[in-house]
Amino acid sequence: MRKKQKFLAVLATMATAMAGSVALAAGPAAGAGATSPKYGGVLHVVMPWGSILDDFNPLAWAGGTGTTAGGTGSLIYESLFYDNPYTNVVTGFLGTAYKWEDSNLKLVVTTRSGVQWSDGVPFSARDVAFTFNYLKKYPALDANALWKDPLKSVAATGPNTVVFSFSSAFTPIFPQIAVQPIVPEHIFSKVSNPTKFINPHPVGTGPFLLKSYSPFSVTYVRNPHYWMPGRPYLSGVTMTAVKSNNTAELLLLNGNAAYTYDAITDPQRTYVAAHPSWNHYWWPSVALNLLYFNTTKAPFNDVAFRKAVAEALDPSVIAERAYFGALAPGDETAVTAGQLKAWVPSSLGPMYYPHSTAAALATLNAAGYKVVGGQLESPSGQVLPTFNLLIGGPGWTDYISIAQTISEELKAIGISTNVVQDTFATYYANLQSGNYDMAVSWSNNNNATPYYEYYDLLSSKQSAPPGGTASTNWERFTTPAVDSALSTYAATSDPALQKQAMVTIEKTVLTQVPVVPLTARPNWFDYSTRYFTGWPSEADPYNAGEAPDAYGGGAEMLYLNVHLLK
């Protein structure tokens, strides 16, 4: 697979978006050795959607959860920037630069010149301001709750300048602003009810145009007037909906599709081995699977008990059994793999805890717990009950495996568990209400720095007292130190201060063990190099392996880079 040349302009990350204007990548560059890539070819994408909705309104995306036709936000419409959650690299699309001003109370975005909507009308900063103010007018379309305090106003102050003003500094809003699809004012200003508008003749700035639609297949063709010279290389993209993961995988194996997004079981054996020269997968870690403790009840409110549980578990064994070696174990800090090097200093190494039965028993003994007759007794001499271990389902084979391994490993230190598998609705409700002892679930954010995951996981604003509903802090662990560190990060655009704040939280996670990181939780990117090249990879993570219909620039990056083999 060819490597990409470095981006054409100075790359920037959210962490370096300081007082001065930040220049961004002009767009993805051609692959090294591919100065004359082969044009043409229709990229066939297959997804287990069942069917495809006849809706091309990018403002009905609801966070990209499938409420619009696949490709709406990745082929037709564009965002201002792509903020890569795996590398923290920001690439410009309709935006070319951004800067925080006035003590981070203003975000000034420079928009791209020379862009046209696909009907020939020029794009300008007015379209950007219109889009964001449209969301304020129609809150049902504000998928990322952008207009929740502290955003005050959005105004175009020139043909290429948009100013976002805030009542208080909150720099973590950048990824939500970056990902928002931008719509043409000259069309959407005439729509009387945008919440019901299906946009049958979409007009965007993206690299492709809608050619045809059916409930099972939608086809796009190259936009000949796309603003990026020489892009896209592809003549078209077809997205096909099938009824199951197995059907999608079969089409990929047979060469009838080149790209899907699917957690293939044992991918090395069932997929790669069939055609090792062209079948590939890259599953970059953008989140984690975690063991949650209900810290509102004993003994999970005891840090020694939580630490002993963490020490008794071997994430390497858990990851191998659940994902057949395709995913890495989770890091004890709950920072994802792509962020570890930049955000977790090596000085925290001595704070990491061992994973062994002996270490767990030593921790328990020091805290007054004892194993008597194979059962763990509390410091007061009471035999601990069998604890429920909650997972979702049915049919979540990875979580079933994870829970079974946890049960085996905890039995070695005298802890008995009963695996409870609920339907998704019940499972999710029990997580939020705190109706569990321990639970296996995911982390709830996958943005470009640890702040976003920590905010959802540990912020007191995401928690609730016993009996209440916790939004995402399901373990209900809160400390003033974590809340203060989150506030420090949010108020600044200084990367040094932001990293100091994250170290404070990393230390808390390592010492207080509010959750146990188990395994990576990735984007499930599966592809074939039989006919096409230019795919992202661990060696060249120009996107984060996003789904083919993902909004926010990640999937678009792929469609701009992939091209026919010579």
Give start and end residues of each alpha helix (H) in 180-222: 185-188
Q: Report the Cα 239 to chain-centroid distance in Å.
A: 22
CATH number of the domain that 72 lies in? Answer: 3.90.76.10
| Nearest partner of 12 among 114, 115, 105, 82, judged by Cα | 82
Helices 303-312 and 357-366 cross at an angle (nearest 10°) of 170
Residues 293 and 196 in one domain: no
Pairing mode, strands 387-393 and 259-261: unpaired
| Domain boundary residue, one of 187, 205, 223 | 205
| Nearest partner of 95 among 44, 25, 169, judged by Cα | 25
Residues 153 and 292 in one domain: no
**pTM for the full predicted model:** 0.92
Q: Count of domains in the chain?
A: 2
Residue 290, strand partner residues: 441, 517
Residues 198 and 303 in one domain: no
- Write out the E strands in 93-188: 95-101, 106-111, 151-158, 161-166
Sequence-distant (6+) residues with CB within 8 A of 518 are: 288, 289, 290, 291, 313, 315, 318, 319, 329, 330, 402, 440
Report the phi/psi class of residue 197: left, alpha or beta, with left for phi > 0 and alpha for psi in -120 to 50: beta
> What type of residue sits at position 170?
F
Residues 439 and 326 in one domain: yes
Sequence-distant (6+) residues with CB within 8 A of 519 are: 288, 289, 315, 318, 319, 322, 323, 327, 328, 329, 330, 402
Q: What is the pLDDT of residue 13?
A: 31
Q: Which residue has the tokens 């060469």?
A: 255
Determine the Cα–Cα distance for residues 242 and 253; give it in Å rounded to an integer. 15
Tens of pLDDT, residue by residue, the chain (566 residues): 222 322 222 223 323 333 334 445 545 554 433 468 999 999 999 999 999 999 999 998 754 445 799 999 999 999 999 999 999 999 999 999 999 999 999 999 999 999 999 999 999 999 999 999 999 999 999 988 999 989 999 999 999 999 999 999 999 999 999 999 999 999 999 998 999 999 999 999 999 999 999 999 999 999 999 999 999 999 999 999 999 999 999 999 999 999 999 999 999 999 999 999 999 999 999 999 999 999 999 999 999 999 999 999 999 999 999 999 999 999 999 999 999 999 999 999 999 999 999 999 999 999 999 999 999 999 999 999 999 999 998 889 999 999 999 999 999 999 999 999 999 999 999 999 999 999 999 999 889 999 999 999 999 999 999 999 999 999 999 999 999 999 999 999 999 999 999 999 999 999 999 999 999 999 999 999 999 999 999 999 999 999 999 999 999 999 999 999 98
| Domain boundary residue, one of 180, 205, 230 | 205
| Domain boundary residue, one of 190, 205, 220 | 205
Residues 377 and 487 in one domain: yes
How many CB atoms are located within 10 Å of the residue 403 CB?
A: 25
Residues 193 and 328 in one domain: no
Greatest Cα pair distance in the chain: 79
Residues 201 and 343 in one domain: no
Classify residue 188: in a domain, yes or no.
yes
User: Which domain does 31 fall in, by range?
Assistant: 12-37+57-205
Sequence-distant (6+) residues with CB within 8 A of 534 are: 1, 2, 4, 31, 34, 37, 233, 561, 562, 563
Residues 290 and 201 in one domain: no
